[in-house]
């Protein structure tokens, strides 16, 4: 597996990481812990060194699984986790909370669940409008000085927030959604990251499964699957967006690859400091995704893809309204 460095931070990770959220959260019942541990360890064996989790995934369960899986390999891997919420009495509410005292509480919990004494990359999961980002960055700066955290990250933050945070504590990476069917970061975020020397970690690089070609007209989602609430996965949106999958399938056939591999290779080709984190619960999908790191798209391929993508009008918002209000702040 090739390695990449996230911006100017010096933080080296595998070109493709593993997003672990779906093992415990968001897409139906949690994967059996033993099977989840085996999948994560299979990724390590195949050269993945970058693993992404968060306290909110579960809550808490995902960090415990990641900690158990990676404990034997701790000196070989980079673990990223996130703070930024409290969960109410039932552990189901997600209440924004980035107060400095809560950040410290969250970090202590994450260290314990991850079975480690240091977090390699600590993200603010969502910007908290009630807490100045300078206070957030300053708290993480102190945690870095104390040896509990190595690098600071932001997730789904806007341009102004990134600049303000970076002025207090250099931001190693921004994690936000980016893929062939969500290209908004190209407008202002990617130029800013390049200017400041910040790495980019795209989540949902396969469009929450849509870009694999496995989701077609007539596909439905269980009530405990996050996609059941996402406008982009409504029946009419899926039907309208199938043209993108058709295009991707044709491109993949020309390259002797799968649609997922082309989608990931396209992301890797955008910038050398981009490290996507596709997630899966299946070993054969893990192997398929990781093979994308070896798929070379020529300048001609990329020009053809760019022209084709510009002709596609993707239908549907990527979040329901109450979650959309939390991004880009």
Would you say the pTM of this structure is higher than 0.75? yes
Strands 171-177 and 149-155: parallel
pLDDT in tens, 200-215: 999 999 999 999 999 9
Give the pair of three-digit tokens for residue 314.
């993707």
Q: Which of 66, 143, 136 is nearest to 96 (CA)?
A: 136
Q: What percent of the chain has pLDDT over 90?
A: 96
The C-alpha atoms of residue 79 and residue 292 are separated, in whole angstroms, by 22
pLDDT average, residue stretch 76-88: 96
Provide the pLDDT for residue 92.
Answer: 80
* Residues taking part in catalysis: 57
pLDDT in tens, 19-38: 999 999 999 999 999 999 99
**In which domain, by residue range, is 306 found?**
3-324
Tell whether 31 is covered by a domain.
yes
Question: Of the given ranges (100-104, 117-121, 214-218, 281-285), which has the lowest mean pLDDT?
Answer: 214-218
Tell whether 329 is covered by a domain.
no
Number of structural domains (the chain) is 1
Encode 199-235: b = buried (16+ Cβ within 10 Å), e = exposed: bbbbbbbbbbbbbbbebeeeeebeeebbbeebebbbe
Q: Which of 106, 101, 68, 104 is nearest to 87 (CA)?
A: 106
Omega before residue 201 within 30° of 0, cis: no
**Residue 229, domain CATH:** 3.20.20.100
Tell whether 64 is covered by a domain.
yes
The C-alpha atoms of residue 273 and residue 289 are separated, in whole angstroms, by 18
């Amino acid at each position: 597996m090739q390695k990449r460095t996230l911006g100017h931070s010096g933080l080296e990770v595998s070109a493709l990481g593993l997003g672990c959220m779906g093992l415990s959260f968001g897409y139906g019942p949690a994967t059996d812990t033993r099977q989840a541990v085996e999948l994560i360890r299979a990724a390590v064996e195949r050269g993945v060194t970058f693993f992404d989790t968060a306290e909110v995934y579960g809550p808490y369960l995902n960090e415990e699984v990641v900690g158990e899986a990676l404990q034997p390999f701790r000196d070989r891997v980079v673990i990223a986790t996130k703070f930024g919420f409290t969960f109410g009495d039932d552990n189901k509410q997600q209440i924004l909370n980035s107060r400095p005292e809560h950040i410290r509480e969250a970090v202590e919990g994450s260290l314990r669940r991850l079975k480690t004494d240091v977090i390699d990359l600590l993200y603010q999961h969502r910007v908290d409008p009630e807490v100045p980002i300078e206070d957030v960055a300053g708290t993480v700066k102190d945690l870095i000085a104390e040896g509990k955290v190595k690098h600071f990250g932001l997730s789904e933050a806007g341009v102004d927030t990134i600049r303000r945070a970076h002025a207090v504590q250099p931001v190693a990476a921004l994690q936000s959604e980016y893929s062939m069917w969500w290209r908004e970061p190209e407008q202002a975020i990617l130029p800013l990251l390049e200017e400041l020397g910040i790495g980019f970690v795209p989540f949902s690089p396969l469009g929450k499964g849509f870009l694999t070609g496995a989701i077609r007209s007539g596909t439905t989602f269980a009530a405990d699957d996050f996609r059941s609430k996402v406008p982009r996965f409504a029946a009419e949106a899926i039907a309208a967006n199938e043209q993108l999958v058709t295009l991707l399938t044709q491109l993949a056939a020309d390259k002797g690859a799968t649609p997922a591999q082309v989608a990931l290779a396209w992301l890797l080709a955008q910038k050398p400091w981009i490290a996507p984190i596709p997630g899966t619960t299946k070993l054969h999908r893990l192997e398929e995704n990781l093979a994308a790191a070896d798929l070379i798209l020529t300048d001609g391929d990329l020009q053809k893809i760019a022209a084709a993508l510009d002709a596609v009008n993707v239908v549907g918002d990527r979040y329901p309204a109450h979650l959309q209000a939390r991004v880009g702040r």
